Amino acid sequence: MAIATVEIQVDVPAGVTVDEYERIDEGHAFHVSWDLPDVCRCETCLREAPLHLIEKAKFLVIRDLDVWGQPSFFVYQDVQQRCPCGHRQSLLPPFKRKDVKYTFRFEEFVLASLIGSTAAELEQRLGIAAETVERIVRNQIADAKGKHIDPRRSMERVGMDEISLREGHKGDGTMLANLTDP
């Protein structure tokens, strides 16, 4: 019996390395690592101190973009910093925000998929809760507040979605622009 090999090219954020791949049922797991900072700012005392690393025996799994129409996940080891004040905090990887179980690019994908769909439809299609879709929209809006948008940029897509059509949001819409490429 011959063994077939398949090559998967994955675009990962800068500084992130794919260390291992594992096929799990109908999904894909990419074990990743990233460049750790030399210093870390404590959430409690706000001091910057050299990195005092604590590697936990725990691995975290977060959702990333689909591969071949199947969900894929980044799997990484929980890494914590111990501050001289005694506080321990997890170091966030560069591809996710605090207290979520998905990557930034998955957030962007969900937002783009929301055009012409409802949160309930995305729940069925992507296998995520409608509340997660709404949390992603809230996080993206909070990130955009206070940012200057160059008036020369052009809109790529304009659409109405379930969140915009709720009572109290009459006349509101969702506009997505590519803010990464001037």
Q: pLDDT of the chain along its 182 residues, tens only? A: 778 787 878 788 888 999 999 988 889 999 999 988 888 899 999 999 898 888 888 899 999 998 888 899 999 999 889 888 889 998 889 999 888 999 999 999 999 998 888 889 988 988 889 999 999 988 888 888 777 667 777 767 666 555 555 555 555 555 555 555 54
pTM above 0.85? no
What pLDDT score was predicted for residue 69?
A: 87
Beta strand extents in 35-161 (DSSP E only): 39-41, 48-50, 53-67, 70-82, 88-90, 155-159
Q: Where are the domains of the chain?
A: 11-95, 97-182
- Strand, helix or coil at 141? helix
What pLDDT score was predicted for residue 11?
A: 83
- Strand, helix or coil at 52? coil
What pLDDT score was predicted for residue 106?
A: 93
What pLDDT score was predicted for residue 147?
A: 73
CA–CA separation, 111 and 99 (whole Å):
19
What pLDDT score was predicted for residue 174?
A: 53
Beta strand extents in 14-154 (DSSP E only): 16-24, 27-34, 39-41, 48-50, 53-67, 70-82, 88-90
Tell me the two tokens of residue 50: 């050299």
Tracing tokens 């008036």 back to the chain, one arrives at 151
Alpha carbon of 113 to those of 110, 121, 137: distances in Å? Answer: 5, 10, 12
